[in-house]
A and B are shown apart, each in its own frame.
Chain A
């Protein structure tokens, strides 16, 4: 019995040495063709040329060696999975990392085998620690040696990095297989994935244009390919490493109960969507004017331009509505909940509708402030990262005042407006329609001498030199009027929700 388990759990088998035969044959054919090349271009090859010709060869790695390792790993994972072992280890996380440790041994064995077979075939060639002259020649068919020589000073470094990159990629994929197996426990899924990966690898190698370098498989298998595509030695490593870290994070959390976090995510999906839209808009506006010699504050004004009588573009109008009325939408969602859940018990608990209102309204004011500050800081930092100049304009105070104070007052106006309409009609949807219909006053020609309190916090006003304090006064007057209406609504005697 114990010997059976030993056989079952044996990691490395001498049978695997058969896998070296195609490598040896391929390397031999490479060696055969080298003398012609030497003669044709009048160069002399050395030991390293023979090594890298096979060891960095995309065809050999992508179509044979890498899929083979993945296939053997899949078979191994499937063969050795046992619930008894899982119980002994205690968690899927531990199972994954134990399995990965054993798979690592397989990787080392295979890489040593690969190295051994090409050492064998490069036997009896001239040895030196330097690159040979073969790498100087820049013709199709000699990319491996050309780029390796171009980027790496010593062949030894290239060899170590090639082993490292291949090992890193293999481990990443094996970890992915382990995670998938721990989650679904179907070997067919893993085999299917391997098959698709094989197909995807060949398509990405042959079909994808150079601009899609990020998702081209050979870039992470063959050192020369990756380094030449990214034009950087570190990039392929950084990308694979970050993918590996993400997978390790997933593996670390695989035992959690996800029902709660799924609910949490579903609940916060609108907020996430809103944040994403804001980010997209900011990135769009900022990257549109990169290299325009603008300062970060100009970039900020352009992003939150909004609309004025003279300045109107559809995209800035749309972005204004997404950012500011999007924020009001969340207030409406809350109102809908409050109105549908409101009962006499609520009133008993809070004693009066005024107190009930004051129990949640300050929170909204705080959220508005945080939102405005986040938008300000976020846009400024994105502009800074995009290389906008750091000069401080003369009207810096005006810009910040207009964005924060007038923005706050404007949002306050929208929020109270929405609350009034929702309470008066007992239908939040009507407030949605009304508010959006009012945005018509933001269109050019409908501005009515800036009397309507809609879109008054557009940064376009600062650009036009419109007095920002006047806007604050206008908004304050409107808000005062709204508060009076609201107080009247709340304190009407016959008011029943």
Chain B
């Protein structure tokens, strides 16, 4: 199993993956930060961080941005008849499990860094450079949403907890995408469903006036008034249930073994 996982890591960490994840981590800082710097009034570093995220297309496209990392690997290997040659060499269910673990872990890591690196830059490095313009005269901090409670205790804790939260959500969405590529023959549909869920559920919750349970606003709670902490776990639990259902379905129909 360890061997399988290390092979998967080697396969995953290619040039394309590294360029893409570096783009995800640093592009917001390079492109969005100059746009928002000066056009909004900032009091605290975390305000800048929140504004950076809500201005960038990340909340809009979150599950879509993470798909190119590794979620489609099973579908690609099936399409290229690679799996056929894996079968005699290892136990296929372990192989698929290793792939799922690597996919979840890498997605988690990239999503975590995507939030945490800008946070580190804005909170700790920028004060030394003094690039961002802060309003100091009228101190009137605005709430940054649901996670404000954590930020009141410790800013570093906020950075870590919030990045972890986004990372876990990213890993869960991509695990769903990965499991769907096993369940469905159509790769395009399988990989687009997490995004469709993300976007359509956001739309539906907005239309039904229950925006606080929207998938977008529970992961990126910046454009919504602060909600109690438990609300963010409702869509999360739904996602966990979806994962469990998919795993049970794959096991019951023996999808991996029969194809």
Among B67, B186, B204, B207, residue most surrounded by chain A Cβ atoms (within 10 Å): B207
A284-B207 contact, Cβ under 8 Å, with A318-B199, A436-B195: yes
Q: Which residues of A contact B (CB under 8 A)?
A: 277, 280-281, 283-284, 314-315, 318-319, 321-322, 329, 332-333, 336, 428-429, 432-433, 436-437, 439-440, 443, 445
Are A280 and B68 neighbours in the complex by a CB distance under 8 Å? no
Which of B56-64, B138-146, B163-171 touches A?
Answer: B56-64
Of all chain B residues, which has the CB nearest A439? B60
Closest 10 CB pairs of A and B: A284-B207, A336-B188, A440-B57, A318-B203, A428-B188, A280-B207, A429-B188, A315-B206, A429-B191, A322-B203
Main DSSP-derived SS at the A contact region: helix
Residues of A within 8 A of B200 (CB): 277, 322
Are B188 and A333 neighbours in the complex by a CB distance under 8 Å? yes
Nearest chain B CB to A315's CB is how many angstroms away?
Answer: 5
Q: List 17 interface pairs A-B (beta carbons < 8 Å), by A numbering.
A: A277-B204, A283-B207, A314-B206, A314-B223, A315-B207, A318-B199, A318-B202, A319-B203, A329-B192, A336-B189, A428-B188, A429-B67, A429-B72, A429-B192, A436-B195, A437-B57, A439-B60
Of A281, A433, A436, which is within 8 A of B203 by CB? Answer: A281
Is B35 in contact with chain A by the CB < 8 A criterion?
yes
Main DSSP-derived SS at the B contact region: helix
Residues of A within 8 A of B60 (CB): 439-440, 443
Distance between Cα atoms of A178 and B72 in the complex (Å): 49
Distance between Cα atoms of A283 and B204 in the complex (Å): 12
Are B192 and A437 neighbours in the complex by a CB distance under 8 Å? no
B163-201 toward A: CB 8 Å interface, digit per residue (1/0)? 000000000000000000000001111011001100110
Residues of B within 8 A of A283 (CB): 207
Total residues of chain B contacting the partner, CB 8 A:
25
Residues of A within 8 A of B195 (CB): 432, 436
Count the A-B residue pairs with Cβ separation under 8 angstroms: how many?
59
Of A281, A436, A437, A445, which is within 8 A of B207 by CB? Answer: A281
Q: Which residues of B contact A (CB under 8 A)?
A: 35, 55, 57, 60-61, 64, 67-68, 72, 186-189, 191-192, 195-196, 199-200, 202-204, 206-207, 223
Of all chain A residues, which has the CB nearest B190? A429
A432-B35 contact, Cβ under 8 Å, with A277-B203, A439-B60: no
Are A333 and B189 neighbours in the complex by a CB distance under 8 Å? yes
Residues of B within 8 A of A284 (CB): 206-207
Nearest chain B CB to A392's CB is how many angstroms away?
Answer: 29
Residues of B within 8 A of A428 (CB): 188
Distance between Cα atoms of A321 and B61 in the complex (Å): 12
Of all chain A residues, which has the CB nearest B36? A445
Are A280 and B189 neighbours in the complex by a CB distance under 8 Å? no
Distance between Cα atoms of A280 and B204 in the complex (Å): 8
Nearest chain B CB to A327's CB is how many angstroms away?
Answer: 14
Residues of B within 8 A of A322 (CB): 199-200, 203
Distance between Cα atoms of A143 and B247 in the complex (Å): 56
Nearest chain B CB to A312's CB is how many angstroms away?
Answer: 11
Nearest chain A CB to B138's CB is how many angstroms away?
Answer: 24
Residues of A within 8 A of B35 (CB): 445
Residues of A within 8 A of B67 (CB): 429, 433
Distance between Cα atoms of A436 and B199 in the complex (Å): 11
Are A432 and B188 neighbours in the complex by a CB distance under 8 Å? yes
Among A315, A429, A437, residue most surrounded by chain B Cβ atoms (within 10 Å): A429
Distance between Cα atoms of A494 and B206 in the complex (Å): 49
Nearest chain A CB to B52's CB is how many angstroms away?
Answer: 13
Residues of A within 8 A of B196 (CB): 329
Residues of A within 8 A of B55 (CB): 445
Are B61 and A436 neighbours in the complex by a CB distance under 8 Å? yes
Are A437 and B61 neighbours in the complex by a CB distance under 8 Å? yes
Nearest chain A CB to B224's CB is how many angstroms away?
Answer: 10
Of all chain A residues, which has the CB nearest B187? A429
Nearest chain A CB to B250's CB is how many angstroms away?
Answer: 19
Distance between Cα atoms of A284 and B208 in the complex (Å): 8
Are A336 and B223 neighbours in the complex by a CB distance under 8 Å? no
Nearest chain A CB to B198's CB is how many angstroms away?
Answer: 11
Of all chain B residues, which has the CB nearest A283? B207
Distance between Cα atoms of A374 and B207 in the complex (Å): 21
Residues of B within 8 A of A280 (CB): 204, 207
Distance between Cα atoms of A436 and B68 in the complex (Å): 14
Distance between Cα atoms of A332 and B64 in the complex (Å): 16
Residues of A within 8 A of B204 (CB): 277, 280
Are A336 and B199 neighbours in the complex by a CB distance under 8 Å? no
Residues of A within 8 A of B223 (CB): 314
Are A332 and B188 neighbours in the complex by a CB distance under 8 Å? yes
Of all chain B residues, which has the CB nearest A270? B189
Of B57, B72, B186, B203, which is within 8 A of A336 by CB? Answer: B186
Of all chain B residues, which has the CB nearest A315? B206
Given contacts A280-B204, A318-B199, 8 further A-B contacts (CB under 8 A): A283-B207, A284-B207, A322-B199, A333-B189, A429-B188, A429-B192, A440-B60, A445-B35
